[in-house]
Amino acid sequence: MYAFALISFFLVFSLYSQNAKDAISLYNEGYKAQILEEYYRAIELYKSSLEINPNYASPMKGLARCFYMLSEYDEALAYVLKAKKYDKTDLELYNLEGLIRIGRGESDLARSQFNYVLSVEPNNINAQFGLAELDIAHGKTREAARKYIGTLNHSPNNRTALLELVEIYKNLGEIETAKNYLELALKYHADDPVVHYAAGKYFYEIKSLRLADYYLKTAIALKKNYYSAKQLLGIIYFLNKKYDDAKTIIEETLSSSNPNHLHFARYCLGLFNQEQGNPILAAQQYIMALDLRYDDEVARIASEIIALKEIDIKNHIRKNLARYHYNEGLLLEEQNYLSQTLMEYRRSLMLDYDSEETRVAYARIFKKLGFPVRYLMELKVLRDDYKSKDPDVLDELELNLMHLYDSVSYKWMKELKAVTGEQSISDLQPGDEQAKEQSKEEKLFDQYTIQQKKYRIMLFIEPDKNTVLHPFADRILLDYFKDLLFGYRTIDPSGKSPDGGSPAGDTDDFTGGNKGEEDESLVGKEYVVHSFDRAFRKANENKSDYFLIIRMDEKERSFEIVLTIYLTRTGSELKTIRVFKTGNRRVQDAFEKCAENIHGLLPLRGTLLTRRFNKGIIDLGRFQGVKKGDELLVIKKQKIKLDHRKISFVYEDSDVLGTFTVTEADENVSEGIIKKKSFFDFINPEDEVIFQVKDKEGE
């Protein structure tokens, strides 16, 4: 009996030892994969190790590290907490949890982890680095630098500290200091591919492409499958117009198992095909980048710009891209974010302007915003232009159309149609009673067809002053910003001089925005300037009113825009707008906020369209914020100038002809009483109306 028990014990022990050996072997293979940045393979091996030995802390720590590197912070946290249950003495786990907490935005919890490590081991370098990273996250870059310098006092050749100091001082604009630390890193770590990659990145960012090329090639020679180095080298080839070389080296990185490499490769291939005039291939590559990272706003915007400019409206690419914005609009509408909803539906219609479903939704938002005329006119487009048979559309038109007969535009319809050149009811032949009856409904005046005066605005970037994670993102995003500005009735951001004609840029133009404009490059070279003087000159050559120089700072989890507005006539700086956003919609939200701010800053300016004795009608209404009782100045046409001190008007008192007091405001026109200033009445149609400027120049 004793012998049998002994044999059983040895069998169980032997089986356990074999399983333990297998678990350790799998862990070791996983660790090797992790070192090679093959994170998905490492995860698979670590999990296999845990299936054999569920209490094995090392693969738990490996899983936490891999998920952290993949920015999957929830999964990383779950595994690091599990590992700590089995090994509470491993200080690496506390440091790792601190880094994960930073990724989750939990600064206080992160700090407590690093401080605990330092209480046990006061000179723990990784904990010091963790606290430095926290400082950087909170904008305390010089405090972070002091911590890294403190590390160098104990360990002069510490690679991490040296490279972090290079990055910190480069971002602070202290290039020589950054270069000194880089030279130390290269001196102490001459055979380290990471250091050569950092050198390549440094020289790329300060625009020394020849040196960047040299160090990146050295990094690749030291580490064959150094995908990050290959991808940056591909961008340098692209900048040097070596397009075939750029494609080849980027395509090599598609063999990586790291989704970050794959995502960046697809984005770059989209960019390269875009530059070479292959719109379908470019859009497909951008969309593949989106498949890898659904929240990549830059790739989505890039694909949409390609679609709007170069891809036929019937192509499924446009329809799929449009569907995304329609669904986003529905979600925002449920939350009652109506202004954002309107922008989403508008973007969807730009991509797929034949979508009846989206057009109905778009119209519905105007009704919710309190603009029934615009709502009905959109429904009328559906019925007349798109031959909609939707009973809801037809019923809404029939039920609500009668309300238009009480509007200002209906009472002034004859004059308005004469001003705009449309046919009025009185133009029909005598005796055609049936046609007249039909005309009452068919020929109602659409006040939104009135063309208002537009502010001509030019957009520029200085690429050297932008920080973007996506190459050329600043050009791509400026194209998107231009589309947003086109959505405002009073802004023309086309960059064309008035002699060249103004593009269709009204809110209800969904035919593709800037298709057909004179853009020499698909990646926005028309926006690029390298000095203020060049922007000033180009803006004057194109006879714009204002020009904007826009700076962008794209980080992994935030996006910032700094936008400066200048008066074209004098080059005077008038206003700086700064918008900082985080979250999943940060890029889109930042540009929408900028567009909204610019529109809100531009002073209201209208035109006296026509008059009957002491009554008149102007091309401003509730849509522009005009209400009953408002008093506006009537100023002789072409006598208003833009102020060089602020975003406002200047005019001579002698050019003020009288006042216009609003008695009834429609959505896009208003009726009012005209009061002349002098004994003689010099007020005529086409004279301009503005609100009085309180701090007028010269007063």
Q: What is the mean pLDDT of the chain?
A: 86
Please check the confidence at residue 251 and state whether its pLDDT lies above 70: yes
- 151-201 pLDDT, tens digit per residue, is 887 788 889 889 989 988 888 888 999 999 999 999 999 999 999 999 999
The share of the chain scoring above pLDDT 90, in percent, equals: 58
Please check the confidence at residue 511 and state whether its pLDDT lies above 70: no
Give the confidence band of 435 by pLDDT, cuts at 50, 70, 90. Answer: very low
Quote the pLDDT of residue 4. 46
Please check the confidence at residue 629 and state whether its pLDDT lies above 70: yes
Please check the confidence at residue 131 and state whether its pLDDT lies above 50: yes
Long-range contacts at 528-533 (CB < 8 A, ≥ 24 apart): 528/460, 528/461, 528/462, 528/463, 528/475, 529/460, 529/461, 529/462, 530/462, 530/463, 530/464, 531/462, 532/571
Segment 452-469 mean pLDDT: 92
Segment 654-666 mean pLDDT: 95
Quote the pLDDT of residue 510. 52
Please check the confidence at residue 504 and state whether its pLDDT lies above 60: no
Q: Where is average pLDDT lowest: 129-138, 403-412, 509-518, 589-598?
A: 509-518
Segment 568-595 mean pLDDT: 94
Give the confidence band of 210 by pLDDT, cuts at 50, 70, 90. Answer: very high
Segment 659-683 mean pLDDT: 93
Q: Which of these, 479, 477, 482, 500, lies nearest to 492 by C-alpha position? A: 482
Give the containing element (helix H, strand E) for 270: helix 259-275
Q: Where is average pLDDT lowest: 314-318, 379-383, 616-620, 663-667?
A: 379-383
Global pTM value = 0.81
- 47-56 pLDDT, tens digit per residue, is 999 999 998 9
The share of the chain scoring above pLDDT 70, in percent, equals: 89
Nearest-5° angle of CA 282, CA 275, CA 318? 35
Dihedral, CA atoms, 505, 508, 514, 518, nearest 10 degrees?
Answer: -40
Secondary structure tally for the chain: helices H, strands E: 28, 13
**Of 474 and 14, which is predicted with more confidence?**
474
